[in-house]
């Protein structure tokens, strides 16, 4: 689906991408990661004061679809700075530039024994989803790789390639976080779709990722039941257990309500360690992040197929 001169290119530090329509030259600083429809680099625009993120795609259609979503969702999503076609070292490709979200992906990082921090993280992530949902969009591919944690512990969703308007089919998802895969609901974009994925992310953040994958890997029919029962296995999630179960079962389709229930549950915690006010998130949270999971399933993408 791409023209003859385009192709996949791995950019290197110091490379300059010449833009076709706006006539700019973008300086590449380093590779950041692989996204749904292309690779992302840390870069600088000539007139930009600081860093930005450059995403280059190999499918003009899929990338444009992502650009359209990014333009529409607003809120806390990275800001779109430029959408154009570029050339570098003789290879041309579509690309866009967005504001850079510093931080590390949640990846498989767990929160150790810090239940309070886990609660705060959950509330922040729900807060991100609430904004998006209020605007009528589902994120679609909620998973640890797409959740960034900044230096101060701030939580941001990244990679809006899967963002889908409520009512349309979710284009891009990852099995483990897809309620359809667990037979706990359909794939139409709605708040409850993301809230299910949020609950699975919380199980992983509480250190139950291996258990979730073990259950997913079996061919038993009652996988869904086992997943829901898993919530009770983490003492870290004891306070919010009931909220999480409801989200997994699809019993709450309102993110504002979910956030309210989350806060209420956290407000009356069972006796356990509570973090001091203003406590910084420990450094080990950031360690060992970004283990790549099962690749996202592209229900909307030309990638990988000839």
Partner 1 sequence: MKQIIVITDGNSNEGISPITAAAEAYARGVVVNVIGVVDREAAGMRGEREIEAVAKAGGGLHRIVSPTKLAYTMQMMTRHTVVATIQQVVNEELRSIFKNETASLETLPPEKRAEVVRSVDEWTETAPLQVALLIDASASMKHKFDAVREAAYDLMLSMQARAGKSELAVLHFPGNNANAVEIDVGWTCELAKLEKILYKLNVKGTTPTGPAILDALALFGGVGRPSPRRAADAAWGDYVV
Pick between residue 31 and residue 299 the one whose CB is nearest to partner 1.
299
Question: Which residue bears the tokens 């992040």?
Answer: 289
Shortest Cβ 244–partner 1 spacing (Å): 23
Between residues 104 and 223, which has the closer beta carbon with respect to partner 1? 223
Q: Give the shortest CB-188-to-partner 1 separation in angstroms.
A: 4
Smallest separation, CB 98 to partner 1 (Å): 14
- In angstroms, the Cα distances linking 39 to 1, 7, 63 are 18, 12, 11
List the structure tokens of 107.
């990846």
Question: What DSSP string describes 178-214?
Answer: -TTTTTSS--B-SHHHHHHHHHHHHHIIIIIHHHHHH
Q: How far is the CB of 155 from partner 1 (least distance, A)?
A: 28
Select 60 or 123, whichever has its Cβ closest to partner 1: 60
Q: φ and ψ at 13, to 5 degrees? A: -55, 135
DSSP string, 267-293: HSPPS---PPTTPPPPGGGGTT-----
Q: Which residues contact 155 (CB under 8 A, 6 or more apart)?
A: 121, 124, 125, 127, 128, 147, 148, 149
Which lies closer to partner 1 via its Cβ, residue 168 or residue 242? 168
> Within 13 Å, how many C-alpha atoms sit on residue 159's CB side?
26
Which CB atom, from 34 or from 84, has the smaller least distance to partner 1? 84
Q: How far is CA 218 from the centre of its chain?
A: 26
Which stretches of the chain bind partner 1, using CB under 8 A?
1-3, 6, 21, 60-61, 64-65, 67-68, 71, 83-85, 94, 167-171, 180-181, 186-189, 219, 297-302, 304-306
Question: Residue 304 Cβ, how far from partner 1 at the closest point, in Å?
Answer: 7
Q: Which is nearer to partner 1, 12 or 20 (CB)?
A: 20
Distance CA 239, CA 243 (A): 9
As measured in angstroms, the least distance from the Cβ of 300 to partner 1 is: 6
Q: Alpha-carbon distance 101 to 93, whole Å?
A: 23
Task: Identify whether the C-beta of residue 160 lies closer than 8 Å to the C-beta of residue 73.
Answer: yes
CB of 113 to partner 1, least distance (A): 35
CB of 47 to partner 1, least distance (A): 18
Comparing CB distances to partner 1, the nearer of 187 and 245 is 187
Could you identify the residue written with the tokens 């004061």? 49
Q: Which of residues 286 and 293 has its CB atom nearest to partner 1 in the complex?
A: 293
Task: Provide the β-strand partners of residue 83.
Answer: 96
Cα gap 212→226, rounded to integer Å: 9
Distance CA(114)–CA(116), nearest Å, equals 5
């Amino acid at each position: 689906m791409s023209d003859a001169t385009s192709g996949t290119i791995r950019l290197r530090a110091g490379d300059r991408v010449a833009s076709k329509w706006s006539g700019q030259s973008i300086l590449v600083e380093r590779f950041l990661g692989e996204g749904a429809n292309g690779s992302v680099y840390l870069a600088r625009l000539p007139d930009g004061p600081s860093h930005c993120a450059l995403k280059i795609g190999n499918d003009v259609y899929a990338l444009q679809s992502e650009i359209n979503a990014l333009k529409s969702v607003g809120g806390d999503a990275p800001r779109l700075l430029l959408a154009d076609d570029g050339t570098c070292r003789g290879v041309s490709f579509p690309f866009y530039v967005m504001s850079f979200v510093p931080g590390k992906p949640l990846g498989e990082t767990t929160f150790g024994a810090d239940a309070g921090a886990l609660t705060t993280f959950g509330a922040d992530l729900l807060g991100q989803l609430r904004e998006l949902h209020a605007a009528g969009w589902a994120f679609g591919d909620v998973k640890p790789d797409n959740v960034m944690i900044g230096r101060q512990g701030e939580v941001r969703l990244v990679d809006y390639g899967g963002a889908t308007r409520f009512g349309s089919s979710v284009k891009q998802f990852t099995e483990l976080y897809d309620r359809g895969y667990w037979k706990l609901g359909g794939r139409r974009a709605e708040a409850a779709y993301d809230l299910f994925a949020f609950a699975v992310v919380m199980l992983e953040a509480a250190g139950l990722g291996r258990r979730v994958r073990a259950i997913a890997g079996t061919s038993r029919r009652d996988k869904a039941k086992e997943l829901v029962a898993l919530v009770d296995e983490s003492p870290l999630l004891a306070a919010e257990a009931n909220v999480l179960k409801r989200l997994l079962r699809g019993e709450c389709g309102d993110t504002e309500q979910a956030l309210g229930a989350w806060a209420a549950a956290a407000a009356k915690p069972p006796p356990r360690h509570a973090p001091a006010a203003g406590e910084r998130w420990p450094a080990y949270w950031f360690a060992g992040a970004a283990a790549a999971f099962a690749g996202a399933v592209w229900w909307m993408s030309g990638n990988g197929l000839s």
